[in-house]
């Protein structure tokens, strides 16, 4: 089976699930994210801290593409 013919189901719309979806879609693999929460919560009191090495690692997949995936 070619990678282009795969359909991937990702359970969990958190940081890891969305990052995986972005990475797969950038490589031409269909990915569907399933999340239990009915809507996106803006005030849950969490934060993400990314160090210099992490920013360097993420540079091929900018955070804007994750945001595009979240609101598609």
How many Cα atoms are found within 13 Å in the side-chain-facing hemisphere of 31?
Answer: 23
Distance CA 50, CA 39 (A): 25
Residue 67 has pLDDT above 60, yes or no: no
pLDDT tens column, 18-62: 889 999 998 899 999 999 887 767 766 666 777 878 777 766 655
């Amino acid at each position: 089976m070619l990678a282009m013919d795969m359909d991937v189901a990702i359970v969990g719309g958190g940081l890891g699930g969305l990052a995986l979806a972005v990475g797969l879609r950038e490589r031409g693999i269909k990915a569907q994210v399933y999340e239990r929460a009915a809507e996106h919560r803006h005030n849950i009191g969490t934060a993400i801290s990314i160090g210099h090495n992490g920013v360097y690692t993420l540079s091929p997949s900018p955070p804007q593409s994750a945001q595009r995936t979240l609101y598609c």
